[in-house]
Amino acid sequence: MADALSCMFHALRNHLSRTLALATLCTLGLVLATTPAFADDVITTIDISGKGSNTTVTIDKPGSYRLYGSSSTTWVHVKTGNVTLYLADGLNINPGISANTGKTCPSIKIENTGGTVNIISEANAQAKLSSYLTSPAIQKEGTQTKLVFSTADSEHPGTISATAASGSMSAGIGTNYKLVSNGVTGNIVFKSGKVIARGGTDAAGIGGGSGGSVDGITIEGTANIEAYGSAGGAGIGCGFHGTMRNITIRGGNVTAKGGDSGAGIGCGRDEQGLTHGAITIEGGTVNATGGGFGAGIGGSFRSKVNSIVIKGGTVKAIAGEYACGIGSGGGTAPGRIRMWRSISAAEPSLPKGVAKRAPSAPMATDTTPKKANTLQQPSREVPSSLPRATP
């Protein structure tokens, strides 16, 4: 009899334990449902609101961090790689004179230590970042650290707006003014979500500040990018007197506008006659507009892009005054352009003083020495400049 009662007691206790556990999980499920859905990792939440003057949020350990709140006295310094930053809806970092003892100050600075830093906008989030004096909104110097932009929910993408101070001579996302930085940025990838970047004077929207160079920007997936350079800077590319290498677009939706003397995608104003690296478009929808003397895609004033390869996507390139839609900027010898037959490209606008050819007239010849065609599909040469009209 005692054994029977003992068995009944243990069975009842186990039943009650399972019922209590299920109730607890259900309760937790209700709580977790009210929080953002993230990966299965530990997230440190940082409220930047209400901080005192000259507050630096230092992140020096790998991990995941969620930023929210609003402040003009705080900025974020990422000193290590393998970090994920989640940007919450309503995040507004607007550093002013009291953010860094009156010194130049970005919203987020990423050190060149290696590893990967992910910046992820939460679903439907609107995050605003800016800068003070000569700093980008998001400052990334060097190419050792990989910077990746994405959104937590591709069906409800968030938006990150990165605007450099108007007179900063710094990119919206990229390098500082070269005299106060190493002036090189790259290894930046945009995968999803919307990013709007605006550069300061002589700077690119995404890429180099004044004198700043870029080596490696990739746009792919479902990224929605808007990049606006100021006078002297490209929309996406380098700043005034900088160099540009390796811009690749594989997907997404890209709108890029250069400032005066800047290309939409490519070079900033260059008075030194430099030859710049490759621009490759493999997919996506691209709308690129150059400023005066700037190509829609390619060179700017007195600069030449060594290689422009377009083999997919839908591309519309509008030239600034005295430049080509795709190809050279004003005052520049032609470079080399290759297009696949599958490309759907809008006719570039013609520079002032250049006559539009009759349909039966032969195309102008690119006098640049030709190299062996290494493409895997048939391609055709496209002239990167047109002769001026005979008076």
Span of 37-46, 265-274, 286-295, 328-337 with lowest mean pLDDT: 328-337
Residue 7, pLDDT score: 45
Task: Report CA-CA distances (Å) from 335 to 58, 79, 287, 363.
Answer: 45, 40, 21, 16
Residue 371, pLDDT score: 35
DSSP E strands, 88-181: 92-93, 108-110, 116-121, 126-129, 138-140, 146-151, 159-163, 173-174
Q: Which amino acid is at 149?
A: F
User: Could you tell me which residue, 369 or 130, shows the higher pLDDT?
Assistant: 130
pLDDT(29) > 50: no
CA-to-CA distance for 48 and 85, rounded, in angstroms? Answer: 13
Residue 103, pLDDT score: 75
pLDDT(11) > 60: no
pLDDT(27) > 60: no
pLDDT(41) > 70: no
pLDDT(388) > 80: no
Strands 304-310 and 337-340: parallel
Residue 179, pLDDT score: 59
pLDDT(287) > 90: yes
The mean per-residue pLDDT over the stretch 179-191 comes to: 83
User: Could you tell me which residue, 31 or 168, shows the higher pLDDT?
Assistant: 168
Assess contact for 242 and 272: CB atoms under 8 A. no
| Mean pLDDT, the chain, integer | 79
Residue 315, pLDDT score: 96
Residue 151, pLDDT score: 98
Q: Identify the band that residue 181 occupies on the pLDDT scale cut at 50, 70 and 90.
A: low
What is the per-residue pLDDT across 247-264, written as a single tens digit (0 to 9) for each?
Answer: 999 999 999 999 999 999
Assess contact for 298 and 308: CB atoms under 8 A. yes
The mean per-residue pLDDT over the stretch 54-65 comes to: 95
